[in-house]
Structure 1
Amino acid sequence: MSAPRVTLYTRPGCHLCDVAREVVERVCAELGEEYAEVLVDEDPELRERFTDEVPVTFVDGRQHDFWRVDEVRLRAALSS
């Protein structure tokens, strides 16, 4: 099985992360894609890199969005 195309970087207690997760879950389910969620606070490098940008979404290893996930853009990126 291949790695998930979408990675969602989050932190606990983050309202925007909860909203982003809902969008990512919905779009991935519709398109038959998997996603991985990574807690930035568990890794000092990630915590420093993303500090106040969470949630951050990557598609195919490239940064796609931060703070909010645009459902239309995410669907388009996964459809290409």
Structure 2
Amino acid sequence: MKVDIYSKPSCSLCDEAIDVVERVRARIPFELRVISILEDPAGMMAWRYDIPVVLIDGQLAFKHRVDEGALEAWLRRAQDGTEVAHLRARDE
């Protein structure tokens, strides 16, 4: 599994989201990329008003805030090969 977090420097919500994701990562292994929208023009266009944004295997999972329990549930379902499309991104 791959988790991408779109963020930017000096963003307290981004720092909080990264902390939550790292706590879950300690229990469930996955590849993590933290991508600064300042260094990614496509990310800037897509997410500039919504950071932090968390994508799981390319699918939008969270915007603005990351719920630790919901993230863990999403990843466990993905890990088991169970459909996760019914879980929607927060704050859509």
- Deviation sequence 1:6-64 (CA, Å, 0-9, x none): 11111000000000000000101111223111111112221111111000000111000
Name the TM-score, length of structure 2 as normaliser: 0.78
Which residue of structure 2 lines up, in the alignment, with residue 22 of structure 1?
19
Q: CA RMSD in A?
A: 1.1
Shift of 1:66: 0.5
Question: Which residue, out of 54, 62, 78, partners 1:57?
Answer: 54
38, 42, 49: which one pairs with 1:41?
Answer: 38
Alignment correspondent of 1:13: 10
Higher relative contact order (CA 8 A, sep 6+): 1
Q: Residue type of the partner of 2:73?
A: A
Q: Distance in 1 between matches of 2:16 and 2:76?
A: 22
Q: Does 1:75 align with 2:59?
A: no
Higher helix share: 1
The one-letter amino acid of 1:53's match is D
Aligned length: 77
Consecutive unaligned residues of structure 2, counting only runs of 5 or more, are 78-92
Tell me the amino acid that sits aligned with residue 18 of structure 1: D
Question: Is the alpha carbon distance of 1:33 and 1:45 closer, same or farther for their aligned partners in structure 2, counting shifts above 3 Å?
Answer: closer
Match of 1:66 among 63, 67, 87: 63
